[in-house]
Chain A
Amino acid sequence: MNSQIREIIARTVELPGGVTDLADTSDLYEAGMTSFGSVQLMLALEEAFDVEFPERMLNRRLFSSIATIDAALKELRSENVGG
């Protein structure tokens, strides 16, 4: 899933240094992602993975790295399966 997240970031968020050299745990905000960038990323992730982030997940930390996004998506998917 991380490579897919990476691909979506590359497509939707403007990062001065690009996404290729970033580790999964690198801070995307530190890499130059703006607040608007994070919103665009959120919408693109929802579309690609066919999920909707609930209000409790709409925070700065969740979208701060590939790893945190991955964890959130996994959590959402398991909820869906469980439900």
Chain B
Amino acid sequence: MLAKTETATFLDDLFDKGLLIETGVDGLYGRSGLFEAIGDGFQAMVTRYGAADEPEVVRFPPAMARTVFEKSGYMKSFPQLAGTVHCFCGSPADHVSLLQTIEQQGDWTEGQKASEIVLTPAACYPLYPTAAKRGMLPEEGRLFDLMSYCFRHEPSQDPARQQFFRMREFVRMGTPDQVTEFRATWLERGQALIAELGLPFTVDVANDPFFGRTGKMLAVNQRDQRLKFELLIAIESEEKPTACLSFNYHQDHFGKTFGLSTRGDEVAHTACVGFGHERVILALLKHYGTNVSRWPASVRQSLGL
């Protein structure tokens, strides 16, 4: 017991308390009722903070069309994170050899064919072509409220870096002024929301984890232009706090890629604010402990717990 206490990590503690449930794969976990209840409370807060803007609620499954995924340019930036859905498309004879290969513990996945589906890497990806199909944006632009499980292939024992996790997002489409104002508003609101929960945080300029040497340059570009800000809270480490909210200005990237245009027939700009659902829950559990009944009354009240 002593040895276990000495080496126990936050993840071990979450497993022990039953808040997260092991599956045998790093970063792929079940969640308990309590874990979900904390999350529901947080989501209700996000809804409350954003309600005045009357966003249009849209929910997609955690997968998207491969054609849209290819068009998005995701593979240019993050090939290492993407997950594609492959399926058996063979004949009855192929099926027999498939079963034999599994029986012999061979690589049965070799014959799997890519389906038309790719796992969603960020909640907003399926939205852009849908929005573009509606035609030109209205004068006031558009605002969407999204939430989805997302997939990123990055196995880790940091509970704040899961392979399947949920992301809540507000996505603004419109003129550069409209979308940058949206982002500035949420930079303030996001800080007020986390402050209401009493969690210590910092806000900093950030970059996405672009792949490879060319990615270095994309990351530097992104930082130079201050396109991404993150709200960070210490979860696994004090030195390397975890991004729990992010505030992103995509400029005309998605507008150009998916043919989104403003009322004035200019290429639409987009911005989004993303909330790492599990990360905020984990930040609360880390900061206040896993016994929720001992959390400060004000925090429980904010979360409706």
Q: How far is the CA of A42 from the CA of B218 in the complex (A)?
A: 11
Inter-subunit contact B214/A39 (CB<8 Å): yes
Contact partners of B225 in chain A: CB under 8 A: 60
Q: How far is the CA of A55 from the CA of B73 in the complex (A)?
A: 24
Q: How far is the CA of A74 from the CA of B175 in the complex (A)?
A: 41
Inter-subunit contact B216/A60 (CB<8 Å): no
**The one of B76, B213, B224 that contacts A60, using a Cβ cutoff of 8 Å:** B224
Q: Which secondary structure dominates where chain B touches chain A?
A: helix
- On B, residues with C-beta under 8 Å from A are 73, 76, 213-214, 216-218, 220-222, 224-225, 253
Inter-subunit contact B214/A55 (CB<8 Å): no
Inter-subunit contact A43/B214 (CB<8 Å): yes
Inter-subunit contact A35/B214 (CB<8 Å): no
With both beta carbons as reference points, the residue of chain A lying nearest to B222 in the complex is identified as: A35
Contact partners of B221 in chain A: CB under 8 A: 35, 38, 59-60
B-facing mask of A37-69, CB < 8 A → 1, else 0? 011001100000000000100111100000000
Q: How far is the CA of A59 from the CA of B224 in the complex (A)?
A: 8
**The one of B214, B222, B253 that contacts A42, using a Cβ cutoff of 8 Å:** B214
Contact partners of B217 in chain A: CB under 8 A: 35, 38-39, 42, 58-59
Inter-subunit contact B73/A59 (CB<8 Å): no
Inter-subunit contact A60/B73 (CB<8 Å): no
Q: How far is the CA of A39 from the CA of B220 in the complex (A)?
A: 11
